[in-house]
Structures are given as C-alpha cells and as structure tokens.
Amino acid sequence: MSLHNGRPYLAIPGPSVMPDRVLQAMHQPSPNIYYGELVDMMGDLVKDLRSVACLPDGHVAIYITNGHGTWEAALANTVAPGERVLVLATGTFGEWWANTARAMGINVDLLNFGLQDTIDPDRVADHLRADTAHEIKAVLMVHVDTATSIRNDVPAIRAAIDGVNHPALFMVDCVASMGCDRFEMQNWGADVAIAASQKGLMTPAGMGFVYFNDKAHEARKGLERVSPNWDWTPRAFPENFYRYFGGTPPTHHLFGLREALNMIVHEEGLENVWARHAKLAETIWAAVDAWGTGGEIACNIAPRHLRSHAVTTIRMQSPNATALRDWVSDKAGITLGISMGLADPGDPAWHGIFRIGHMGHVNAHMIMGVLGCIQAGMSALKIPYGDGALDAAAAVIAQA
Amino acid sequence: MSLHNGRPYLAIPGPSVMPDRVLQAMHQPSPNIYYGELVDMMGDLVKDLRSVACLPDGHVAIYITNGHGTWEAALANTVAPGERVLVLATGTFGEWWANTARAMGINVDLLNFGLQDTIDPDRVADHLRADTAHEIKAVLMVHVDTATSIRNDVPAIRAAIDGVNHPALFMVDCVASMGCDRFEMQNWGADVAIAASQKGLMTPAGMGFVYFNDKAHEARKGLERVSPNWDWTPRAFPENFYRYFGGTPPTHHLFGLREALNMIVHEEGLENVWARHAKLAETIWAAVDAWGTGGEIACNIAPRHLRSHAVTTIRMQSPNATALRDWVSDKAGITLGISMGLADPGDPAWHGIFRIGHMGHVNAHMIMGVLGCIQAGMSALKIPYGDGALDAAAAVIAQA
Amino acid sequence: MSLHNGRPYLAIPGPSVMPDRVLQAMHQPSPNIYYGELVDMMGDLVKDLRSVACLPDGHVAIYITNGHGTWEAALANTVAPGERVLVLATGTFGEWWANTARAMGINVDLLNFGLQDTIDPDRVADHLRADTAHEIKAVLMVHVDTATSIRNDVPAIRAAIDGVNHPALFMVDCVASMGCDRFEMQNWGADVAIAASQKGLMTPAGMGFVYFNDKAHEARKGLERVSPNWDWTPRAFPENFYRYFGGTPPTHHLFGLREALNMIVHEEGLENVWARHAKLAETIWAAVDAWGTGGEIACNIAPRHLRSHAVTTIRMQSPNATALRDWVSDKAGITLGISMGLADPGDPAWHGIFRIGHMGHVNAHMIMGVLGCIQAGMSALKIPYGDGALDAAAAVIAQA
Amino acid sequence: MSLHNGRPYLAIPGPSVMPDRVLQAMHQPSPNIYYGELVDMMGDLVKDLRSVACLPDGHVAIYITNGHGTWEAALANTVAPGERVLVLATGTFGEWWANTARAMGINVDLLNFGLQDTIDPDRVADHLRADTAHEIKAVLMVHVDTATSIRNDVPAIRAAIDGVNHPALFMVDCVASMGCDRFEMQNWGADVAIAASQKGLMTPAGMGFVYFNDKAHEARKGLERVSPNWDWTPRAFPENFYRYFGGTPPTHHLFGLREALNMIVHEEGLENVWARHAKLAETIWAAVDAWGTGGEIACNIAPRHLRSHAVTTIRMQSPNATALRDWVSDKAGITLGISMGLADPGDPAWHGIFRIGHMGHVNAHMIMGVLGCIQAGMSALKIPYGDGALDAAAAVIAQA
C-alpha cells in the first residue's frame, strides 16, 4: 500500500521547497516594465540582496541564469582567456567550476581535497607562494559543495591568501549556502561571491547573482572585452531599469524574489534564518549519528564543524540508498537527493549514497517527517541501523 | 529560537490540508453559468459524490453551507416541527445535532453514551421498542464524532433498529468520516447521510452534502412544507443547472471539489484512501500508546476498533496541552486541534486535551513530522512520556 | 475563423469578473480557525461590510449561501409562517422572492409593476393604507432587478410607507446593486437589506449578507423560533468566532472578501466605485441608444434614471440575440447574459433579449471591448443598427 | 474620475498578457528534477518548440535568458571574435544585435534601412557580392523589429544570399514574431533563428530559444571554443536532462511553456494563431488609418504588407503620445508601449510615438477595448482624429 498521497515533500538539495507566498507573488499578470511597481522596487531589492550576503559596501549583478551560469559570469568579468586561476575543490561543484573555467580558455591549477575533507589552507598558501610572478588571477572555492555537503572555512582561505601577500581575487561559490549557512562576504574578505535563486533564497530556478567589491571591479575594468550578457557593469550600475537585466526583465521571478527577501530579511531576520538552519542540520546529524551506531549509515563529512547546514550527504555501506529513496517516495511522499559525483552512476557504490536537502523554507515538522520516514524505509528494507535516532532528533528540536 | 519558518502544517480536525491541485483548480476566472464546462461536469460530479458514500442507487443534494447546515438540511426534509427524533450522542457533535433539532421545533429523545464510549445498540433497541406508537421519525447518530474521535458502528445501530422493526429513518453524520473512514451508506442501511467539503473531501469549507435514499424521499414528500433553501427535491432532481444550487452555483468550490474527487475516486481509489487513513491512524496510536506507558498521555478512546481514522483526541493527566500546542506552533510550524466539548474552556481540564487531525490530504511524511515535534515539545516542556514512541510509529509506516 | 483566444471575458450579470487579487487571496492553505489572522480580521471585515451598505449603526450577518439563500434568511428572522408580506415586483427576482416567501408559509400580497417599469409609490401607499389591521409585516422590494435591469427608487418607497404610517419592516434586495449602485441603507430607511458576494462585491459565489437595524431585530426577538442556520442573532452578535458562521467558517471566501473590501472601501473608495459604475453604464447606454436609432435594439428600461448601473437588459425586435451571444462568444471571447424572465425560453421572444453585466471589477477597456464586439456581431449577422454607437460610447469615456 | 479599476490590460509589445492557464501551471511546488513529470515531458516540449518555428528537421537549444541573451547565444555558437557579420537593420533591435556582435569582438558590416522601411534585397546582394573572399560569416536580420513594427521579408533575403552564392549563415531574430507572424524556418531557409518566451509564446520572460540547422551546427563545430553557458551542443543534444539547461532547469518556466505550447500547437493550431494575429492587426490598422484621415495619427510603417501582426508603432504629428498613454492608463486601465529608438527620449518627437502590442493571448474583445479607449483619450485630449475608426475596426472583426 502507499502512504504518499498528501503534500509531496521535496527533500533534494535544490530546488528547495518554494513558500506558498513566493508562488503566489509570481501568480500575477505581466507588469508594466517601463515604470511603476516593478521599476520602483529594484532599489530595495538590490539592497536586500546585498544584505543577504552581508555586503554593505559592494555591488551585485542579477542574471537570468542558473547557478552554473554564475560561474561563467564571475569569471567573464575578472579573468581573460589564457590567464590562470587556482581552484580549490572539495566535491563535484568545485571540479565543475574548474571545468567551466577551462572551457572559457582559462588555465586552471586545481588543488583537490577529496570528497570527504575540507580545504587545507597550508596547501593553498604553498601553492600561491610558489606563484611568485602572480600569474594566478583568482582563487576559486566553493563554500558548501552540494555534492559532498562539506562546508569550507572561508576566512581561513582568505587568511592563507593574505599570509603570502598574493594579489589574486578571492571568489566564493555560495549557491548552496546563501541564506542557509552564515556567510559574511565583506567581513570575510571575499572579492566575488555567487548565488542562485532556487536554494536558500526560496525562489524558483532561473536567477543568479554575482556579488563583487571594488577590487573585483578593477579587474573587470582591466579586461579587453566582456560579452554583453555577462558584463556586470550595466547590471550593477544601471543607467535605467532596462539595463539591470540586459533587456527584458525576469518579471515574475522578481516578484517571487521580492517576497522571499521579505521573509528572510524583513520578517525572520538573517541571523534567525541561519540559526534555524543550524539547528535543523543538527537534528538530522543526531539521527544519522544514532543510526550509524552499529549500523551502516553515516554522514559523508565526519567533523561536525565542516558539515553544511543546508544539505547532508549520507553514505551507506551497502548499495541500498536507491531502494531507500524509492521506498520513501512511493510510501511516504518524500523525494530524497541522489548521489552526485561521489561515485559513478554505473558503479554500485553510487547506490550507497543519498542526500537530504534542508535549505530555505524548512521547519521542524518537515525535518522530523523526513527522518521518521527514512527510518521506516530502512526498517522495511531490512537495512540495519542503530537505536534511538528519532528520539535523538526530537531532543535537538526540544532545545529550540 | 523558532524552527517554524517553513510550510505551516495544519493538524486540526478540519478544515484539513487542501491539496495544491484543489487550490489551483479554484484559482480561475468566474465561469459561464449557463452552459459549458461547469454545467457539463455536474453529472459526473454527482456520480462521484455518490460513489464516495457508496450509494450507487440513491441521491445527493449539494448545499452551499457548512457541516452544521447539513444537520438542518437533513432534518428539514424529513421531520416536521413537533415530531420526534432519537439522537445517539457520543460527543459534542451528536449533542449539537440534537440542539439543532430542538431549535427547529423537533422533540428530541437523547441517549448520551458519554465522551469515551460508543453507542450501546441494546439501549437503542430498548428505547425504540418502547416507542410502540412509532412516534420517533428518525434515529440520528454521528459516525465519527470530531470532538471525542470515537468511531461508532453504523451497521450495529441499523441492526438494532431492524431488530425491533422500527420504521424510523436512520440518519448518519459523516462529516468527519467521509473520505477517511470506511462508510458504505447503501450496504449499511443508512437512509440519510451528511458530509461537508472541508475534511476528507479536501475542498475548502463552504459546501455540504445530504445523501438520501427513496425511503427518506418518501418522508420528504409527506411534509407539508420545506423551505426553498433546504428542499432537497430540486437539488437532487434538478430540472436545470440553476436548480442544483437554488440559485447562483458555488462556482469555485465546484471546481475545487471536481479536482478533489478526481484524486479520491479516479486516482488513488476510495479503498486505498481508507487504507491509507487506517494505517496513518495506527501510526499515531502507536506513538501515543508508547508515550502513555508510564507517561501521562493517552488516546481519549481506549479500544482501537472504536477509534476514528481521521482524528485522534488525546488526553494528558496534567493541563499541559495548551502549552504543548503553543510550543509546536511556535517552534515547529504545526497547529494542533483544541479540545471541544470534553471540558469547559474555563476548566483546567480543558488544557489537558488536544486533537490531531489526520484527514484527507495526509501522508506518512506529514504524520511522522507531527509525532516527532509533539515529542520534542513534551520533552521541552518536561511532560513525562514513555520511550520508543517514534520508533513504534516508524515501525507502523514500515509495514506499508 | 475565431478571434476568441485571449483572456475570456464574462459579461453576464453575475458572477462578475473576479479580480486577480481576490483569487490570489483565496489561493492559500487552510488557516487556523481557532485564533490568528482569520479570527483577528473579523472585526474590521464586518465594519467594512457595513460601510459598503452605508449602515454605520446597524448589524450584518454573514451566511454561507447564495443570493436566493439571503431571501430566506431575511424572512426567517422577521416573519413567521402564516403572517403576511407585501412584495413589490419589477422583474423575475422580485417574483422569486415572493415565491420564496410563499414556500416558507408566508402569505404574499404581490404588486407587480411589469417588466419595464418601476414601482409606483402611490399604489404601495394605497395598498398599505388599506391594511388598517397592520397585518402586513414587511414590504419587500428589489433595488436592482437583474432580470429587467430596472433600478427602483428606495427612498420613494420608504416615503410611501411612512406617508401612511404603516409599521411594516422595509426590506430591500441589493444583491445586484451593492457595490455598484448607490445604496444608503441607513439614510434611506431600509430596515433589512440583503446582498451576496459574487456581483459588486467581487468575490466568488458562496456568501450572502443580511443587514438589519434594531427595529428588524425587534421583529426577530418576537419570533417563536428561527432555525439555527438562519438565526442572525449569533452571526451578528457572536460570542466567539465560531458563532459568526454557525460552525466551520468559509475560510477561503473570507480571505477573498477581505481583499475585495480592501479594494472597494480602502483603495478606490465607495463613492468612486459608484461613480465608475455610473459612467460605464452611461457608456453602454450611449451605444445602445445609437444602435437603436433606426435599428432594432433598445434598452429594456427606457428612462435613464431607472436604469441600473450594474446590468443592462437589451431587447431586439427580431430573435437574433441568441445568435449574437453565440457570435461574440465564438469570435470575440465574450459571454453575454441570457434573458431571464422577460420571455419563456420556449418563446421566440426569448431569443430577442440579452443582458450585459457591468458590475464590480470593470473598467473602460472592458466595456469598450464588449461594445465593439457586439457591433461587430450585429454587422456579421446582418442585424440592422444605427450609426455612431462606438463613437458615442467613446465620447462618454472621454468625459471621465 | 477614473475608470481604470478593473482588470488592467497590458498592451505593450512584450511581455504580453500571460494566459491564466500558464500562470496556474507555474503555481506549483518545485518538482523532482531527477526523474518524473518534468524530465519526461522534455521530448515533446522540444518537438512542440520546433513545430512553432516550422523546423521539422532542425534543432533547438533552450536558454535561461531573455531575448538579448539569445543574440549572444546565436553568435557565440557560429562566429568567432575577429570574424565578420553583416547586419541588416530596420530598427532598434537590429542595431542592438549589431552592438552585441561588436561587443563580442565581431566585426560588423551594418546596412541600415531606416526606421520606416524594409530591407532592400538588392543592397544585400550587392554587399555580399563584393565579399568575394567570403569573409562574412553570417547575415543577421530581424523578422519583426519591435521598435518600428516593420515585418521584413525573410525569403527575399534568403533569395538575395542564394542569388550571389554566398555561403554565410542566415540568422533571423524572431523574438517579436514567433507565434504571431508566419515564420517557416525550414522552408524559408533560415539557418539560425532566435525567440524568447514572453511575447507570442505567452510565458513570462526568462527563457530564450535558439533554433539551428545542420549547416549552422557545422559552424559551431569549427569554433575553437564556446563558453559552457552558450554552447548549444549539450542543450540541443543532451546526454541527460541536466544538460538541457547547463545545470538546474528553469522548473516553473518549463511548466508554463508546456501549457502555452498546448494552447498554441495542440488546441488552437499554429495556422489559426497566425490568422488570428493577422485579423487583429488588420483591425488596429483599420482604426489607425481612419483616425489618420484628416487627423494626425498614422502607422509608422505605411505599406500593409510590411506591417507586423504582433506590434504596431504609431506616430502622431504633435507630441501628445505620452499624454495619451497616461490618459488611457489612468482612465481606462490600459498600458500602451513607449517609443523605442525612433526618437531620443529627450527629443519632443519621442512624445509623438507610441506602440500597441497585440501578441500572444489577444482576442477581439481586448483589441476593440484598446481602440475604443485610445479614441476616448484622443477626444479628451483634443487630439484631432478622423471619423469612423471604431466602426471600421468592428467591421474587420465582423469578417471573422
């Protein structure tokens, strides 16, 4: 029998669950794009977008694109083909950003820290120290890699760069962390940061954001040419409304984003949003850790301080994760995330990995429901697990 | 801190969680009410409404009203002021139906079976046997009383009436059970049954349904006068579309109901809907029973075979239920149901009772989320509870 | 070929075009019905409902019903079976209200003023003067009869009643006029007024409103019994939220009505709403009058001061109205209203009548579109019409 | 007074009026992006997208971008920096495409045919004939320029290219014409065509489409490098769902586009859609031509066979267009399009131009409403105009 006929629950690491209010805000006629509400709201929208990144003094360009597009946008404004960047990879998304750079004609130095560990600042410092000619134009890292669910230490890498006095721009991919995990762009010294709408920012996929400071903009000015679609200059410093978007604005997404930012910035408050994500992540870890005691299940990232608050990648010793995902979908109405990059889809090990997304519009009810049904699924599928997981999870919620 | 910022979850015993598809179906322009889609769909709609009540050969009248209105509608078509009915009460809603009858000028014999027990067929038989003049025109019972969460045995009462050869109409309030708990109007021998849109039928409040068979319609014909709004004749046997609703149709509700019936009748299937409700109810009971071991919490109705599959009334020894409801609302985004009729709101005992609605568009994810957060709340509030409840609940889900 | 594929336009006299904002307001999850937003908003909602009727000092009961239901509600609270009322009919709706009264066991004196004329106050006065025993408990009139599109003079009838010192209650059906045509309940001396949601109040069908003053409430107190569904006492003077609606509230309709009242009362302003309806009605009349010069088309009501601002019934000499309605539907995306009560549907004359609804959420663009397409249809169907109609209509708009 | 309080009507040349069904289709939870409905529907979606362009044998890449982005996408896949293209300009959009090419490092030969005339195929042939070295890699033209409302003759330019045996790719901007004006990509011999979602395709802004044939794809293969975001190879020949969009799919836009294509391709039919646009355009021209007789208003494009069926640019002799736009907005609820590129916004002549969008979800009712209100506005503002315009427009509708 099936117990899935109710509100389906999407627990993948993006797109996340869209708030009803955001969907409602998007359900309206096409607006006047010359003047009126849409045009008037842009000033505050940009301000609120900056506040989500803790960037009081910098700039942000809005792109009609997805997260992958912002990788290209960030590089197109800062690094010319033939120049060199250093990519610090801790999962698929770091590797893909490197691939994007290569495909743009950029030379890539790749330091890969594996799939279960964080970036080693010393290796970064060593690598940069060796670049005495300062050929490396930018250091690229992913704050939270959605594949591995690692959460890297941004200030530590900033310190490593500063420690060797290297002038490279410091660029951080915050697609999976923005609005979920604490990220203080200005205080932490990132020069460029990228984000997208469909995760912590609770708006359907289709918008990407590139934040930058004056140092990064100097790099932009030094480039011979940036294509019109990617040039952040008119988007961040628009002469008129039309220039924000290099043409027709993404009208309905803007209405949705406006509502999402109302919820994050003006209602719950960013600090509270971060605290909620931290507590709900801890709830999930409490369950997984308990299941893993004598069981076969574990968080991909062992040290708690390196785990994302937005996504949790889970490993099982046996290749039962696909069966488990299918079970909770058929029986309980939950869609869990697949493995990405931790094993080849043809490899049995691929079937030992799944992910839980817990980003954006998530509350205790949703998370306890996911954990309860995962345990039911493991039980039904005879996957061994340790005792007390749900009690442990509830105990974390109880501390709220 | 708060962990409620995500999709709010309404766990009250009606209105229930509306499916997104139903809300979408209602989000459309006002239709042509003379001909076209709305008019054309009525035949199938009525057929599907009948099938939800397992009434292949009877009739149904659609009213623009709520559940209370259907009490009045059912009586207005069958019993004249000054006539007499027997009401079998097992909770607030039975008592209120009796009040409605009295307010309509009908004389009421009330057999009250308390707040934690079911109807005793022998007492019913005795009472009817004593009515040798057959003054009692109708026997009224509530299938599932939303206040106590009792689920009464409809065939047993039919048998009691038949056992004494009493000609009274047999009328059953299915507002809380229709589309949740098995109810077979024709097989079980109910002459009249009432339901409303906002519970198992997953459509916003504002429509009520009165089902009846030919015997009941004979009673209608015998009445001197039924007011135009309540007369079921034109509504069940309409000459034209306009007569279905005694005037302007409830356009948007009809669109919503159409979608809800698609889901129940044509997609999941009524037997599967009942089975899902049964299993999810069992899940809740498993948790409550475990919490109650050495704890202070228990289902209001002790025997499992008398418990509703749509709502569960829970009693705590101490008056902590209000605090618990507040906690799960503030911390977890869940609204639990208040006590209704089991104690006076001014009485401390009122604060010892709460209800969980689990009717309509509910799945395993939603239920495990509610149970996990209730336990978190009891823990936070230092309400003692027995061990293993969440594991027990997950174990029930695992059997799906 | 067809030119209808665009936004369909419903130009029937109710249900009217629902504002997108109202539909959006209804597109939300079921709310908490114990406390919170829904409960908190009732005070202001009732106040705004009263302000739409210009009833600062009276009361209003909200019913889950349609317009026909409010006929019954108004009578159930004021007149007992066996008592007598005077109905002043100027179209189908007046006659139907009389039928409702009769079906409730009330004796009806009917003064019928035909289908193209208004109420004659002298005949009213004569009739009441003859009732020396004051057996007539209430005088019932329809402000705007949706069938004929007459707009009757409410103060004139009040004056007629007062002129003969008759104590009957004065009850006015404002279903088609509320929020469209000026109606000042308190100043004009109506004791009871009824309205419904789906016309000028721009909310889907399913809610009705009965306004009353203290004199009417005295009549209510004098009745032996009013059925629970209709009794306005708990609805207008509720002890708690639950009593407003005699059970489960019409949650989604309340959200929709709240938004509609925001638009009417707090944004556009009632005086401006009335002025807009008056000007748009005048626009339609300008066109019809021009078409009628040498043509075969005319407003059913000749004197302008007796025409409704919310609906216009139009007569053609030949039975081409059905063909015209079909043409504008197929070719232009417009649904016009059918004849109601001015001829029998089996009578060819029925096909000589149609109606245009112009109530609620209507603007100049909508009206000019309707007129332009009606003329196109008449042209296509070789229905003769006079020149200059569209220019005349535009000239009225130009004066705005 | 204002007569605008009703459904606001957006008559700008894009974004166009979104069908309620499209907005509804977008109002749903984030979907599973790994498998299920969204993934399964892509095959048919791509097929239907191709059928709208009459491209049975070619390819289409879907981009998350606006129309301007597709200019860049088309060029990025076909022309390298330093190479040369010929741009044929008949308005702002042609000039902007040229600017885009230049900003990408491409050398541009620009033939400008002014703001009121079409492309001269002889000049194109002469220019290409002179390019004996075949340095020109592509000829770029705009089918319908939204600024001037010219509709250029695509086959004529194909013939000109073929007449001189020039191997350049032939690229056509169909942003404003796709789904409105007849465009047969394959039969007419375009190698590349671009379109966007927000005009004839009736889906909110945020998606762009690049169609191409095998010849164009050969050019793609010859390029050293195409950036990942623009490379049409994975998008048009995806290994898996994820590759269609270079990352996260534009989930909600895809749902909207699916519904819009249902309406265009499977319900109304593309030929009927084109015929409807043609007839409604003719309706507008009939009015403007009549107003212009002795008046001061005229279509920017004099020859009817060169006028777009999707947008009409209108010139007034005096600078009253801004006042007229304001009037119809305030009084009638209509937003007309501003001038774009026909005069500098600082120039008084700018205020003599406005545009009417009539693309996508438009019917006779909408168009007659716009025309009626424009005439009302001219009348109110004392702008002289010729007689009989609205009658003339209605007469065109009458022929439908």
Average pLDDT over residues D302-321: 96
Structure confidence by residue, pLDDT tens digits, A141-166: 999 999 999 999 999 999 999 999 99
Of D19, D361, D400, the CB nearest to C2: D400
For residue D52, give how far its alpha carbon lies from the nearest alpha carbon of chain C (Å): 17
Within 49-68 of B, beta carbons closer than 8 Å to D belong to none
Q: Distance between CA atoms of A249 and A234, rounded to whole angstroms? A: 13
Structure confidence by residue, pLDDT tens digits, D154-203: 999 999 999 999 999 999 999 999 999 999 999 999 999 999 999 999 99
Of C268, C365, C370, the CB nearest to D370: C365
- Show residues of chain D in contact with A8, CB under 8 Å: 29
pLDDT value for C308: 98
For residue B14, give how far its alpha carbon lies from the nearest alpha carbon of chain C (Å): 8
pLDDT value for A324: 98
| Optimal mutation site among B229, B241, B361, B366, interface C, most CBs of chain C within 10 A | B229
Q: D303: Cβ–Cβ under 8 A, 6 or more apart, which residues?
A: none
- Under the banding of pLDDT at 50, 70 and 90, the label for residue C84 is very high
For residue B18, give how far its alpha carbon lies from the nearest alpha carbon of chain D (Å): 13
Of B3, B20, B368, the CB nearest to A363: B3
Concatenated DSSP letters of D92-145 = HHHHHHHHHHHHTT-EEEEEE--SS----HHHHHHHHHH-TT--EEEEEEESB-
- Show residues of chain C in contact with A28, CB under 8 Å: 20, 24
The answer to whether the CB of A311 falls within 8 A of the CB of A149 is yes
For residue C365, give how far its alpha carbon lies from the nearest alpha carbon of chain B (Å): 17
Helix (H) or strand (E) holding D390: helix D389-398
* Subunit partners of chain B (3 or more CB pairs within 8 A): A, C, D
Q: Distance between CA atoms of C299 and C284, rounded to whole angstroms? A: 10
The answer to whether the CB of A363 falls within 8 A of the CB of B6 is yes
pLDDT value for B296: 84
* Encoded tokens for D57: 């044998």
Question: Is the pLDDT reported for residue A295 higher than 80?
Answer: no
Q: Do C27 and A28 touch (CB under 8 A)?
A: no
Residue of D nearest to A16 (CA): D30
| Optimal mutation site among B27, B252, B259, B365, interface D, most CBs of chain D within 10 A | B27
- Show residues of chain A in contact with C28, CB under 8 Å: 20, 24
- Under the banding of pLDDT at 50, 70 and 90, the label for residue A189 is very high
Question: Is the pLDDT reported for residue A53 higher than 80?
Answer: yes
How many whole angstroms from its chain centre is CA D393?
Answer: 24
Provide the 3-class DSSP secondary structure of residue A268.
helix
Q: B236: Cβ–Cβ under 8 A, 6 or more apart, which residues?
A: B59, B60, B61, B212
- Show residues of chain D in contact with B20, CB under 8 Å: 28-29
Q: C382: Cβ–Cβ under 8 A, 6 or more apart, which residues?
A: none
Structure confidence by residue, pLDDT tens digits, B297-312: 999 999 999 999 999 9
Residue A363 contacts C where some CB pair is shorter than 8 Å: no
Exposure of A305 in the CB half-sphere (CA atoms within 13 A) = 2
Provide the 3-class DSSP secondary structure of residue B253.
helix
Q: Do C370 and D365 touch (CB under 8 A)?
A: yes
| Optimal mutation site among C21, C22, C24, interface A, most CBs of chain A within 10 A | C24
Indicate the pTM of the whole model. Answer: 0.97
- Show residues of chain D in contact with B24, CB under 8 Å: 24, 27-28
For residue C359, give how far its alpha carbon lies from the nearest alpha carbon of chain D (Å): 10
Residue B20 contacts D where some CB pair is shorter than 8 Å: yes
Q: Do A24 and C29 touch (CB under 8 A)?
A: no
Q: Do D227 and A72 touch (CB under 8 A)?
A: yes
Average pLDDT over residues B183-190: 98
Residue D240 contacts C where some CB pair is shorter than 8 Å: no
The answer to whether the CB of B70 falls within 8 A of the CB of B208 is yes
For residue B64, give how far its alpha carbon lies from the nearest alpha carbon of chain C (Å): 5
Question: Is the pLDDT reported for residue A264 higher than 80?
Answer: yes
Structure confidence by residue, pLDDT tens digits, D36-94: 999 999 999 999 999 999 999 999 999 999 999 999 999 999 999 999 999 999 999 99
Residue D239 gets which letter from DSSP? S
Of D20, D27, D29, the CB nearest to B29: D20
Average pLDDT over residues C164-177: 98
Q: What is the spatial order of strands in the sheet that B192-196 belongs to?
A: B59-63, B208-212, B192-196, B169-173, B136-142, B84-89, B107-112
Around Cβ D162, how many Cβ atoms within 10 Å? 12
How many whole angstroms from its chain centre is CA B91?
Answer: 12
- Under the banding of pLDDT at 50, 70 and 90, the label for residue C210 is very high
| Optimal mutation site among D22, D23, D27, interface B, most CBs of chain B within 10 A | D27
Residue D24 contacts B where some CB pair is shorter than 8 Å: yes
- Under the banding of pLDDT at 50, 70 and 90, the label for residue D294 is confident
Work out the percent of chain D whose per-residue pLDDT is above 70: 100
Residue of C nearest to A20 (CA): C28
The one-letter amino acid code at A38 reads: L
- Show residues of chain B in contact with C65, CB under 8 Å: 64-65, 229
* Subunit partners of chain A (3 or more CB pairs within 8 A): B, C, D
Residue of D nearest to C372 (CA): D368
Residue B361 contacts A where some CB pair is shorter than 8 Å: yes
- Under the banding of pLDDT at 50, 70 and 90, the label for residue C345 is confident
Within 329-358 of C, beta carbons closer than 8 Å to B belong to 335, 338
Q: Do C397 and D376 touch (CB under 8 A)?
A: yes
Structure confidence by residue, pLDDT tens digits, B142-168: 999 999 999 999 999 999 999 999 999
Q: Do B248 and C26 touch (CB under 8 A)?
A: no
Average pLDDT over residues A282-297: 93
Q: Do B363 and A394 touch (CB under 8 A)?
A: no
Residue of C nearest to D362 (CA): C6
* Encoded tokens for B257: 């109901």
Structure confidence by residue, pLDDT tens digits, B19-63: 999 999 999 999 999 889 999 999 999 999 999 999 999 999 999
Q: B95: Cβ–Cβ under 8 A, 6 or more apart, which residues?
A: B87, B89, B110, B112, B341
Residue of B nearest to A331 (CA): B400
Q: Distance between CA atoms of B110 and B116, rounded to whole angstroms? A: 17
Q: Distance between CA atoms of B305 and D184, rounded to whole angstroms? A: 69
How would you class D242 by CB atoms within 10 Å of its CB: exposed for 0-12, middle for 13-18, buried for 19 or more? middle
pLDDT value for D241: 85
Residue B37 contacts D where some CB pair is shorter than 8 Å: no
For residue D292, give how far its alpha carbon lies from the nearest alpha carbon of chain A (Å): 27
Structure confidence by residue, pLDDT tens digits, D345-395: 889 999 999 999 999 999 999 999 999 999 999 999 999 999 999 999 999
Q: How many CB pairs under 8 A join B and D?
A: 10
Residue A20 contacts D where some CB pair is shorter than 8 Å: no
Average pLDDT over residues D293-322: 94
Residue B363 contacts D where some CB pair is shorter than 8 Å: no
Residue of D nearest to C279 (CA): D3
The one-letter amino acid code at C240 reads: N
Residue D20 contacts B where some CB pair is shorter than 8 Å: yes
* Subunit partners of chain D (3 or more CB pairs within 8 A): A, B, C
- Show residues of chain D in contact with B29, CB under 8 Å: 20
Angle (deg, nearest 10), helices D92-103 and D67-76: 50
For residue B272, give how far its alpha carbon lies from the nearest alpha carbon of chain A (Å): 7
Q: Distance between CA atoms of A14 and A335, rounded to whole angstroms? A: 11
Q: Distance between CA atoms of A334 and A326, rounded to whole angstroms? A: 9
Residue D156 contacts A where some CB pair is shorter than 8 Å: no
Question: Is the pLDDT reported for residue D114 higher than 90?
Answer: yes
Structure confidence by residue, pLDDT tens digits, C232-289: 999 999 988 888 999 999 999 999 999 999 999 999 999 999 999 999 999 999 999 9
The answer to whether the CB of B320 falls within 8 A of the CB of B282 is no
Residue B24 contacts D where some CB pair is shorter than 8 Å: yes
Q: Do B28 and D29 touch (CB under 8 A)?
A: no
